[in-house]
């Protein structure tokens, strides 16, 4: 066992991820500026550290994959808020589901269209198709349709931040500042990060947002492969 | 909390198996739906899984980080395609916000409630 070999052990990637994230979270707690969201800061910091130490991504992932392993169970765990919110909003479940079905389809097309029009490569297009839903679902869908999971993950995070910041502004322009409509829109467009923002507006808004997160996740998981195939054929 | 985590993994496995058997939806999403159903028919009780769910969902952001770091291997592509990527994010977010907000507000009125129902 050499000291230099530490970087090649899983402990390195694991420790780096946990420490940086914990620090970023603390920083965000103090400064509360959306561009300093812990995820963005952590990713930027770790990339910088790895570049500086001349460590490549696969080596980092020996430890990093331990953290990302928990993405799949976390999606299953969303079954609990999904159940609770559906129970709570039972009377509106059907209209909300229909809204999500359309919003998801429209969202996928809108995500893919700019790249399609600008003539970008298929893998970019496929990476962006599921980017409006929460990362663990988006990554799996991305793999399914021939995208690059890392690009999808980054796009998801950026989408979340953009939506969380711009969402309330856009929604105010169409006269929505509160309630289920506000929450559901935030969760649909910017998933978990949007939900955190929606919670600031209130419990109803937060609950609606987390329901939207789950519903849009399901809808997109179902629709994205179809839509991508429709627009650009199979991988 | 361990029990809760075991239950979650069990549903994850169930979903994964169903995907392998041909269901065209990611296994983790199937698992989420199955868990919600199990809660509805009371096969699983909320108290059993609350702790594990909170542990995972409260720290969701942490879980994205390793995948996001992966873009360090994609800088070339991103540099070439950043316009399309940026437009994709902005346009789709705007579209979803406007459409969803208007739709929910619209049928909220139709169903005869105020903006703050459901609490």
Domain boundaries, chain A: 4-69, 76-232
**Residues 24..43 of A with a Cβ closer than 8 Å to B: which?**
37-39, 42-43
Contact B56 A74 (CB under 8 A): yes
Low-confidence ranges of chain A (pLDDT < 70): 34, 234-235
Q: Please give the Cα distance from A156 to A58 (Å, whole number).
A: 21
Contact A185 B96 (CB under 8 A): yes
Test A79 with B11 for CB contact under 8 angstroms: yes
What b/e readout covers B63-89, taking b as 16+ CB neighbours within 10 angstroms? Answer: bbbbbbbbbbebeebeeebeebbebbb
The pLDDT of residue A119 is 87
Q: How far is the CA of A40 from the CAs of A31, A132, A139, A190, in angstroms?
A: 14, 17, 17, 15
Q: Name chain A contacts of B96, Cβ cutoff 8 Å.
A: 103, 106-107, 110, 132, 163, 185, 188-189
CB A21 within 8 A of CB A38: yes
* Biggest distance spanned by C-alpha atoms of chain B: 53
Are the Cβ atoms of A76 and B8 closer than 8 angstroms?
yes
Rounded CA separation B65/B84 (Å): 23
The pTM of this model reads: 0.84
Interface of A with B in 203-222 (CB under 8 A): 203-204, 207-208, 212, 214, 217-218, 221-222
Distances from the Cα of A141 to the Cα of A21, B51, B91, B114, angstroms: 26, 28, 20, 36
Mutate: best of B25, B56, B93, partner A, most A CBs <10 A: B93
pLDDT at B80: 86
* Residue A147 sits at the chain B interface (C-beta within 8 Å): no
Tell me which residue of A135, A84, A87 sits closest to B47, measured CA to CA: A84
Q: Using the beta-carbon criterion (under 8 Å), do A77 and B95 form an inter-chain contact? A: no
Residues of chain B with pLDDT under 50: 114-119
Chain A touched by B46 (CB under 8 Å): yes
Handedness of CA A12, A16, A19, A21 (dihedral sign): negative
Summarize pLDDT for A100-120 with one digit per residue, the tens: 999 999 999 999 999 999 888
| Contact check, Cβ <8 Å, A76/B117 | no
- Tokens matching residue A66: 């331990």
Q: Which two tokens stand for residue A74?
A: 């976390």
Return the pLDDT at B115.
47
- Name the percent of chain B lying above pLDDT 90: 52
Check the CA dihedral B100-B101-B106-B111 and report its sign: positive
Distances (CA, A) of A219 to A96, A216, A227, B45: 12, 5, 12, 26
- A–B interface: beta-carbon pairs under 8 A: 330
Q: What is the distance between the alpha carbons of residues A193 and A176, in angstroms, rounded to a whole number?
A: 19
Q: Which residue of A has its CA nearest to B33?
A: A79
């Amino acid at each position: 066992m050499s000291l230099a070999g530490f970087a090649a052990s899983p402990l390195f990637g694991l420790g780096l991820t946990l420490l940086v994230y914990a620090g970023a979270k603390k920083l965000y707690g103090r400064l509360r500026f959306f561009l300093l969201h812990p995820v963005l800061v952590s990713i930027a910091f770790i990339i910088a550290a790895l570049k500086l130490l001349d460590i490549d991504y696969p080596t980092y992932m020996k430890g990093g994959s331990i953290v990302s392993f928990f993405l799949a169970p976390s999606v299953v765990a969303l079954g609990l808020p999904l159940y609770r919110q559906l129970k709570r909003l039972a009377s509106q479940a059907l209209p909300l589901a229909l809204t999500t079905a359309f919003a998801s389809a429209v969202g996928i097309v809108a995500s893919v269209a700019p790249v399609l029009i600008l003539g970008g490569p298929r893998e970019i297009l496929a990476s962006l198709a599921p980017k409006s839903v929460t990362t663990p679902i988006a990554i799996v869908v991305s793999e399914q349709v021939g995208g690059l999971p890392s690009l999808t993950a980054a796009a998801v995070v950026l989408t979340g931040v953009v939506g969380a910041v711009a969402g309330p502004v856009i929604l105010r322009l169409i006269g929505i500042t509160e309630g289920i409509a506000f929450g559901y829109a935030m969760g649909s467009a910017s998933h978990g990060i949007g939900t955190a923002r929606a919670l600031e507006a209130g419990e109803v808004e937060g609950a609606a947002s987390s329901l939207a997160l789950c519903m849009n996740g399901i809808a997109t998981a179902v629709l994205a492969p179809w839509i991508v195939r429709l627009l650009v054929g199979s991988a | 909390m361990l029990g809760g985590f075991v239950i979650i993994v069990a549903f994850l496995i169930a979903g994964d198996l169903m995907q392998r058997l041909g269901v065209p939806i990611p296994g983790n999403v199937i698992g989420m739906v199955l868990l919600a159903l199990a809660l509805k028919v009371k096969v699983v009780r909320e108290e059993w899984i609350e702790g594990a769910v909170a542990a995972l969902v409260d720290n969701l952001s942490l879980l994205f980080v390793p995948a996001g770091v992966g873009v360090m291997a994609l800088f070339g592509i991103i540099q070439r395609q950043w316009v399309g990527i940026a437009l994709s994010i902005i346009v789709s977010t705007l579209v979803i916000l406007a459409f969803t907000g208007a739709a929910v507000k619209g049928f909220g009125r139709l169903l005869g409630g105020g903006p703050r129902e459901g609490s």
